[in-house]
Amino acid sequence: MSFTDEQLLNLVNNTIIKKTEYSIDNFTGGGVQTTSTHNHKITKYKIYLTFGYDDKRNSISYSQDIDEDTSFIWHKAIILKVKSMQTLNAGSSLSELNELMNSNSKIEDRDNKIEIEDRDKECNEFVTKLVTKKKSLKLQIADKLEEYDNINLDAFNEWVAHKKYKSITPITKLLNMLTRHDYYVQQEMVDNSIMNNYAGIFEPKAGTAKQVQQKSTYTPVNGMRANDMIKEIARREKEDGLKNAIS
């Protein structure tokens, strides 16, 4: 069974008015007292209401026996009465107290809201920096590639994707090394490192570069290697021959 704040306050106020010689304004505190036997079995409950502290006089108490079933009600009532007195002395009204206790407040905690907004702002700035950093690296690579006119883009892109670089410094070193050789040698260097799971790109051994260059030259034709272009032409001619035979 539940009771409203008003009912609990009335329980204390009406007891003071009807059963004591003091007014409600003289009330200064109270409590619920329990008495137990030597084996801690509770046998008696009592309330006490005190008066006189405000007038600098000796405290005078009113006591009343109660039963166990109503002891918790009295306990809540006296606590609420004391709290209401503290609120009133602080310059608030009982109606304000009830409003704060019973209403569903929609007031936002402004300090907490500001703190959350600041934290969200910091998080968004951090994410933005990460995204900007990634975009910035791509732009740096694009700008750096414009400085080289003999880079094998296929080989370069394969190695960059394989290593997943995070800064432009190792990419600059990579470009400087690759562009010392022709297109075919650049591809061989990348293929060799990826196939052997090397940590980096290595210069071809002495004499190997000349042999490789004599073996084939890499001439980009519409983005394709010369050897690949020859294979593509042969494939198309073969398909045309089959079509003519069928027709």
Q: CA of 201: how far to CAs of 167, 186, 195, in Å?
A: 17, 10, 11
State CA 146 to chain mean position distance. Answer: 41
pLDDT exceeds cutoff 80 at 247:
no
pLDDT exceeds cutoff 80 at 204:
yes
Q: Which residue has the tokens 């600041």?
A: 118
pLDDT exceeds cutoff 90 at 175:
yes
Mean per-residue pLDDT for 219-230? 51
More confident position, 221 or 10: 10
pLDDT tens across 29-78, in order? Answer: 899 988 876 666 667 889 989 887 555 456 678 899 988 888 889 999 99
CA distance 212 to 184: 8
pLDDT tens across 64-106, in order? Answer: 998 888 888 999 999 998 888 776 555 545 555 566 666 554 5
CA distance 174 to 155: 11
19 Cβ partners below 8 Å, 6+ apart?
62, 64
Question: Which DSSP state fits 203?
Answer: P
pLDDT of 194: 92
Contact 9, 80 (CB under 8 A): yes
Q: Which residue has the tokens 């075919």?
A: 184
Contact 100, 57 (CB under 8 A): no
Confidence of residue 193 (pLDDT cuts 50, 70, 90): very high
